[in-house]
Amino acid sequence: MATTTAQLIVTSTDLLSDSLSLSAISTLTNGGGTTGITQTTGLGRTKSEATSLYILYDQSALGVPAASAHKVYIKNMSTNAAQFVTITINAEELGRLYGGDWCFFPWSAHDSSNDISITPSVSSALVIEHMLFFES
Amino acid sequence: MATTNATLTLTSADISSDALNVSRAATLYKADTTTGLEQTTGLQKTIFSAVTNIVLFDSTALGVNKAAKVYIANKSIDPAEFVTITINAQIVGRLYAGDWMFIPWSQSDAAGNIELQPSVATALPVEYMMVHEGITQTSA
């Protein structure tokens, strides 16, 4: 098994009158156990040049099991704050990643239409960095 | 405006033959701008004791197509315990004990609530926070 950790740190000295310094760290394990996730797509980058819907992770093509503890990382590498990509799961909108934003979330891949897709806001070149950790 | 930073670090020495060490930082801005988000729910913690699906964050008109960010962590220490996260009945995924997520939330329609369902009816602690641009207030 592999040992992979994901750490989040959120800080702010002026969002509230009490300084915010939140830290969360997790070891990526298979669902329901303590065995580390052993598979990954690797860290990838995808450049889009249209405002079409792109399937980033295709549940059927990957053949990943349902109701598991897969994890997804996506970052919008644009430096333009107005350029965003809309993240969807099976056509349900999760949110918009604006230039520089990233996200990290679990993916249960519970059926064949449960793909993770992106739709860029611009037709000029826009680069997305992404990675999937998955169990088999 | 406020300055709030979120940093993700992914590390592994053995998931592949090339060690993984990715660190990415973002400043949380309002949509389309470089003005910092200045509102938050604060960091909340709830101990759930039923397997009922509950609304964790209620989609509101002021949040539509904005740049809200949501953090949720399952603080259980039992690896078998999980919470299922859904948006408008669409399952996003399961957060097992110790897992966390950090996502943008555009509240694309009135039904686009973020919901959570614990897998067990015993005490299951969950921590959560939203940093956002505004919440439509309900009249008394």
Q: Which residue of B has its CA nearest to A66?
A: B93
Q: What is the pLDDT of residue A37?
A: 96
B22 pLDDT exceeds 90? yes
Which of A1, A9, A11, A12 has the highest number of chain B CBs within 10 A, making it the mutation to test binding with B?
Answer: A12
Q: Which domains does chain B have, with CATH numbers?
A: 33-132 (2.60.120.10)
Kindly report the nearest CA distance between residue B111 and chain A, in angstroms: 11
pLDDT in tens, A58-107: 999 999 999 899 999 999 999 999 999 999 999 899 999 999 999 999 99
Which of B9, B10, B130 has the highest number of chain A CBs within 10 A, making it the mutation to test binding with A?
Answer: B10
Whole-angstrom distance, CA of residue A115 vs CA of residue A64: 11
B65-101 exposure pattern, b = at least 16 Cβ within 10 A, e = fewer = ebbbbbbbbbbbeebebbbbbbbbebbbbbbbbbbbb
Q: Which amino acid is at A52?
A: S
Percent residues over pLDDT 70 in chain A: 100
| Residue A103 with chain B: CB contacts under 8 Å | 101-104
Beta strand ranges found along chain A (DSSP E): 4-12, 20-27, 39-40, 44-48, 54-57, 70-76, 84-89, 92-98, 102-107, 116-120, 126-134
pTM: 0.97
Each domain of chain A, given as residue ranges in start order, spans 39-134
**Count of A-B CB contacts under 8 Å:** 200
Cβ–Cβ gap B93/A15 under 8 Å: no
| Residue A101 with chain B: CB contacts under 8 Å | 26, 67, 104
Q: What is the pLDDT of residue A67?
A: 86
Query: H/E/C letters for each residue in chain B?
Result: CCCEEEEEEEEECCCCCCCEEEEEEEECECCCCCCECCEECCCEEEEECCCCCEEEECCCHHHCCCCEEEEEEECCCCCCCEEEEEECCEEEEEEECCCEEEEEECCCCCCCCEEEEECCCCCEEEEEEEEECCCCCCCC
Q: State the complex-level ipTM.
A: 0.97
Range in A46-50, A86-90, A110-114, B39-43 the model is least confident about: A110-114
Contact criterion met (CB below 8 Å) for A121 and A53: no
CATH number given to A39-134: 2.60.120.10
- A8 closest CB neighbour out of B6, B16, B87: B6
